[in-house]
A and B are shown apart, each in its own frame.
Chain A
């Protein structure tokens, strides 16, 4: 077996261990109340941390202009998400807006 396969297996095991870590830990102990309070904020914190750069740093640089079609499409999609709470509709409107805007800008 080559070094590449061994490297991949080691990396796979490490990734698996990271994903299992707290699931395994909290299986055998009660979750401390402070940790429980903290966990409520994982979804809003992590999801926004992924979304913000995608909308505001489209080419790796901050772009707050009207020419940033990802930002405009994202804002429109947020409105749809807020009003409808419908994931599919949010994606549909967001994608349509992005493609339209890109079409206008001749990208």
Chain B
């Protein structure tokens, strides 16, 4: 149990608690909630065991589902972004990801924003498609995805900037 593992476990628990107790009750403009618990998936170490990562992401989503009574919606969305995270990383960071020189804690603002946007959009598309689960409501899905994503991205970037680890900055 090194320091990074403990940090990730703490992040896992705290994000779930914040999501369930605070952010699920925001209901901005009626029904918009930011889903910032995916910060755990965004910031997971790049060299993590992939099977473990997929499984932990599944558990993360399932826990949120359990609190929100939403079946397996969050679990699916988390699985998808956990599985496709290497793709997102590669498309944003290009070669520096291939050579494993990227550190998530000290990348530039623009790259960070691109990475977060890509992940959040993917997550929310899966999330709302499954939540609404009816393709005749495709406009509603797109609308909710766009507005919620905007909300989530803003909050996520704020959190990432505010809670940056001092040793790396």
Q: Do A and B come from one complex?
A: no
